[in-house]
A and B are shown apart, each in its own frame.
Chain A
Amino acid sequence: MNQDILVLVEQVRGQVADITYTMLAQARQLASAGAKIVALLIGNDAEALSQDLAADEVLYVDHPALKEFNGEAYAHLLAETITRLAPRLVLLGDTTIGADVAGWVSARLELPLVSCCRTIHAEGGDWVFVSPVCGGKLVAEGVLPAQTTVVTMQPGGFRTEQGRSAQPPHVARLEPPALDGLRITLKQYTEPQGEDVDITHQPLLVAVGRGIERQDNLDVVQELADALGGTVCATRPVVDQNWLPTSRLVGKSGKTVKPTVYLALGISGAPEHCEAITGSEMIIAVNTDPVAPIFNLARYGTTLDLLDLAPVLAEKARAVKVR
């Protein structure tokens, strides 16, 4: 085993996901002198995606069957690569892509696995991981074992720019394996319901979570958003109830947003949500629970009831706009 770090590149429909850059940034920070950062890119006609990856080397596997994400193929390829390279650390995203692969590989190769990791830092000769657990209410810290370890990373620990490179890395093409026996195939994508607004391009987002309690209270929130000139979005519990369409979902299985201001109303701050808003310039949180994890992420906060605050804030905002 060497000190190399292997990163699995996540790409969906021809775009490299931000989490990849986060992982590369993490790898950059950890890699000691002489250690290589290797990125594993899988796809079809996707070599160009390797251009700005901040890796020392990119291993690229090309095959028509790998155009879209395939959990089985990715797992096999990753396992093979790990066996060949014997790296110190294998980084995958703690995402709907990485989490499908990590456990399979960990079980198959009998490698230890750390999931939901926020950051890894060096401490003397040890590598120490920090992971939020229990909905963000606790933080776990531990030393990575001295053997090849698989780690799935959450977004937010690093700025994605740190994982980009101006210089394209060296790309080595790997022989694609025999892929006829694949037991999983992607049939088709389903677009999110056609919606007027793309929340990823809005400067001011008014987000609602469980704290809104009932669907009728959405009116109050919409009023506030209108008064502020912002857009309403939501966390999973709200979308699951069909109070808002999935196009408004912000979170691990929804959209990642980077607005100028993110106003979080009645949102506790579970990691699945928080990971998608860490890019916001400013987060303001309204939650009656003074120890809600969202307050660790927000710049400003208040424990007032959102139903009391929203109408008053809307009125004042309207007054300002009139002036």
Chain B
Amino acid sequence: MQTATRVTVRTATAASGNTVAVLAFGGDISSASKDTVLGAYHGLNGAASHVLLDFTGVDYINSSGIAIVIQMLLEAGKAGTQTIGIFGLTPHFQKVFTMVGINKYAALHKDEAAALAAV
């Protein structure tokens, strides 16, 4: 019953001129997504100082999926040199991410243009 998680990795150029790694997710983000999501993040090898998480194509997120985002924030914090931003969440999940406090560690943006303008 769970829809597979998809991750596309690409780069974009921020308004500041910085290169940004974008992890674009699709399908479900749940406990079954852990290896796919963290595998894509680890594939960046810490080379990107700015990472954006794109939830535009996500159909379903639950608290286990949110925990995977927190795991990425934990790892980015350990690296010490990486910022993570988030865009493409529905208004409901922007509210949920804010309720659990993710916005304290990752800026939430409406869309990619807003996210790239902020880097």
Q: Do A and B bind each other?
A: no
Residue numbers of A with Cβ under 8 A of B are: none
